A and B are shown apart, each in its own frame.
Chain A
Amino acid sequence: MARMKFLCDADRCIECNACVTACKNEHDVPWGINRRRVVTINDGKPGERSVSMACMHCTDAPCAAVCPVNCFYTTADAVVLHSKDLCIGCGYCFYACPFGAPQYPRVGNFGSRGKMDKCTYCAGGPEADLTQAEYVKYGANRLAEGKLPICAEMCSTKALLAGDGKIIAEIYKERVTRRGYGSGAWGWKTAYKETVAI
């Protein structure tokens, strides 16, 4: 089984936000929630870089560790998913997540955050694959169709890579060697406790 990861090559990202838009469209993501976002660091200064960030599907995920109702699970492809049936909307995963991935629709008054929503790596949820129930809660299940996440698939500069960690690390390494520079595999140290050695 593969160990699915995301890798954003910040030297290629042009901050077009197409990944954000494609994700929202693919999964019918509710208003106010962005499963993926592009953050521009040192904006307008020399060395400005943009990074597309979403749930990184961490090894030993902090969200799963702090969840009071055990709603998280890790698939055989190492994708971190959650059950919206179990989620009570307490917000703990949001506190623990280093990447700000868990978000909540504002459905009610005081503290009623509604069910948590986050990037599913286009892998749906605990419901049976490719069912309407799964689509309504979690969005499309592209992995079950043998496709990779839409954000990476349609990235115009191929800055955002998705797939088996070893393969995308190899691709990134090759790029860095060929062009002679690279600002690092963003979030890898935090999410996977390792980085791409060049």
Chain B
Amino acid sequence: MKMAINALRALTFALALAVLGQAAPVAAQQAPNPTAQSVKEEQLLNALRGGDAVAGRITIPDRTAASLIQPEGKSFRDFHQGSLWLIGGVSILGMLALLVAFYGTRGRITIDAGFSGRTVTRFGGFERFVHWLTAGCFVILALSGLNLTFGKALVAPVFGDAAFAALAGWGKIAHNYLSFPFMLGVALMFLVWVKDNIPSKLDVEWLKAGGGILKKGQHPPAPRFNAGQKAIFWIVIIGGVAMSISGWYLLFPFESGHTVGDQQFWLNVHAVVAMIFIAVMLAHAYIGSVGMEGAFDAMGSGEVDENWAKEHHSLWLAKEKQRAGATPPNAVPAE
């Protein structure tokens, strides 16, 4: 019993010592400074340089609101108000200048042999439908999209802010809804024309010869689509897919589960691809209409002049003729 009490005393003494030993430094630290360990705004702003947002815990259900300060906003603004204007301006105005210069020096590319009066079917009804479905959507998407970037500087001063906002609002609705037929058009285009757009050795020779559009009277042989048209096809497919993916995320901002940084990224991708896409399509529209005699018929009526086909798509014409037999279906009797 006595031994037990002694042991207890010893233990109590040891405990008391331990407690005193712990307490001593606490007593020495007199004025507590709660900020000594606290996060300061400065530290967090330094941390922001890594590109992360200052985030914490939040009690409201909106999870994204836990981000206190996001640094990407500034780079988004700089890009959207600076670089994007430059990229868009240079690519679109640059392309227009190139086309005007090309028209000025080369003029309209005419059919060297003149219209033959005989036509051959180049694009069937479904192919033309797919083309104009995509093209029609593209024009409205492009205009309403450009309006969001350049409209406030170019269009708003003309109509006033209220009318311009109404226009931009309708443009946004059109942009949202027409994106779906556009995506369908791009998908159909791929299915309908991919077999004629596989690059081949012939394309290299066609390109070496300057495509036959730089010099008058020179026509390198080409199958159904020449290298230039194949390039347009792949630009439309790749560009269309890029626009669709980035646009999809922007269409469903809540469902995609993206952070604000992701949304900025996809908007920037969408905008840059769009500017280049529009510039390329300007060239495509030029050569398919005013730039070349007889070219519009291919997508207009679907029937092109035989001489046009002979000059620009000799291999395709030969094949078509072979398929149709000795006499083309639209042949006019000689006598």
* A105 → B minimal CB distance (Å): 11
B105 is an interface residue with CB less than 8 A from chain A? no
A89 is an interface residue with CB less than 8 A from chain B? yes
Which residues of chain A have C-beta atoms less than 8 A from B147's C-beta? 68
* A164 → B minimal CB distance (Å): 21
B200-221 with Cβ < 8 A to chain A: none
B37-65 with Cβ < 8 A to chain A: 37-42, 44-45, 54-62, 64-65
Cβ–Cβ contact A66 & B148, under 8 A: no
B22 is an interface residue with CB less than 8 A from chain A? no
* B200 → A minimal CB distance (Å): 41
Residue ID in chain B nearest A184 by CB atoms: B41
Complex Cα spacing A113 to B252, Å: 10
Which residues of chain B have C-beta atoms less than 8 A from A165's C-beta? none
Complex Cα spacing A50 to B61, Å: 17
Cβ–Cβ contact A98 & B40, under 8 A: no
Which residues of chain A have C-beta atoms less than 8 A from B67's C-beta? 39, 100
Cβ–Cβ contact A113 & B57, under 8 A: no
CB-defined interface of A9-20 with B at 8 Å, one 1/0 digit per residue?
011000101001
A156-177 with Cβ < 8 A to chain B: none
Q: Which of A17, A41, A48 has the most CB of B within 10 A?
A: A41
Q: Select A40's contact among B57, B77, B148, B149, beta carbons within 8 Å.
A: B57
Cβ–Cβ contact B253 & A43, under 8 A: no
Residue ID in chain A nearest B176 by CB atoms: A111
B310 is an interface residue with CB less than 8 A from chain A? no
Q: Select B251's contact among A87, A96, A110, A182, beta carbons within 8 Å.
A: A110
> A95 with B58: in contact, given A68-B152, A100-B65, A111-B251 (CB under 8 Å)?
no
Cβ–Cβ contact A11 & B35, under 8 A: yes
One of A129-137, A139-147, A185-193 contacting the partner: A185-193
A65 is an interface residue with CB less than 8 A from chain B? yes
Cβ–Cβ contact A66 & B69, under 8 A: no
Complex Cα spacing A10 to B41, Å: 10
Cβ–Cβ contact B161 & A41, under 8 A: no
Cβ–Cβ contact A110 & B41, under 8 A: no
Cβ–Cβ contact A69 & B68, under 8 A: no
Cβ–Cβ contact B40 & A71, under 8 A: no
A148 is an interface residue with CB less than 8 A from chain B? no
B190 is an interface residue with CB less than 8 A from chain A? no
Interface residues on A, range: 35 or more
> A47 with B37: in contact, given A70-B156, A96-B80, A111-B251 (CB under 8 Å)?
yes
Number of A-B contacts (CB under 8 A): 173
Complex Cα spacing A136 to B101, Å: 56
Cβ–Cβ contact A112 & B176, under 8 A: yes
One of B6-14, B162-170, B272-280, B301-309 contacting the partner: B162-170
Cβ–Cβ contact A69 & B168, under 8 A: yes
B316 is an interface residue with CB less than 8 A from chain A? no
Cβ–Cβ contact B151 & A68, under 8 A: yes
Complex Cα spacing A87 to B169, Å: 8
Cβ–Cβ contact A189 & B41, under 8 A: yes
Cβ–Cβ contact A90 & B172, under 8 A: yes
Which residues of chain B have C-beta atoms less than 8 A from A65's C-beta? 77, 81
A49 is an interface residue with CB less than 8 A from chain B? yes
Cβ–Cβ contact A62 & B73, under 8 A: yes
Which residues of chain B have C-beta atoms less than 8 A from A90's C-beta? 148, 172
Complex Cα spacing A43 to B31, Å: 24
A55 is an interface residue with CB less than 8 A from chain B? no
Residue ID in chain A nearest B35 by CB atoms: A181
Q: Which residues of B contact A (CB under 8 A)?
A: 31, 33-42, 44-45, 54-62, 64-71, 73-74, 76-77, 80-81, 147-149, 151-152, 156, 161-162, 164-165, 168-169, 172-173, 176, 250-254, 260, 263-264, 267
* 9 residue pairs A–B, Cβ–Cβ below 8 Å: A38-B59, A39-B58, A40-B57, A41-B56, A53-B68, A65-B77, A66-B76, A69-B152, A183-B39
CB-CB nearest 10 A-B residue pairs: A184-B41, A47-B38, A181-B35, A47-B37, A86-B165, A41-B56, A110-B251, A43-B57, A39-B56, A69-B165
